[in-house]
A = this chain, B = another copy of it.
Amino acid sequence: MTDSAVESTDRKILQLLASDGRMSFTDLGKATGLSTSAVHQRVKRLEQRGLIQGYGATVNHAELGLPLTAFVSIRPIDPSQPDDCPDRIRDITEIESCWSVAGTEAYLLKVRTATPAALEDLLGRIRNVANVSTRTTIVLSTYYENRPVTD
């Protein structure tokens, strides 16, 4: 079952914009059978409703000098301490994503660094600032990432 508050035309627009965030309203109109300004109104509404959270360019991190991707699982060392880990690590720029997860560990991070040494340094900073232990999984190869998933 799909959310009835987002109907077919809006879903189509979301799908198209998810795969090409710079598609023009004119082209979106051709693809959906709507006029340019009808599409324009719908997109603005989707943005206001928060269904479109933003637009971004996908950057080639390897070519940019950040070839090392890793997942870092995090567990607080002292369970009696207030757990404000996400706040404490927010400003660490190497962290691309931060989730809280069910299971043995409390948080999962996705990080990008230039070298193994930079990863080592990063892990040290995370442990220090948040008083946590870490478990790291290195990414060997990325088949695909952030593929549009709309249904």
Contacts and interface: CB of A to CB of B under 8 A. Distances in A.
Interface stretch (A13-21, A33-41, A123-131): A13-21
Contacts of A63: 3, 5-6, 49-51
Interface residues of A, number: 63
A14 B66 CA distance: 14
A86 B138 contact: no
B101 A65 contact: no
Contacts of A101: 71, 137-140
B64 A3 contact: yes
A99 to B, nearest CB: 5
Given A2-B65, A65-B2, A17 B57 contact: yes
B55 A86 contact: no
Contacts of A150: 59, 64
18 contacts: A1-B65, A2-B65, A3-B65, A18-B57, A19-B56, A20-B54, A21-B22, A21-B57, A53-B57, A56-B56, A59-B150, A65-B151, A96-B146, A96-B147, A99-B141, A99-B145, A100-B140, A101-B137
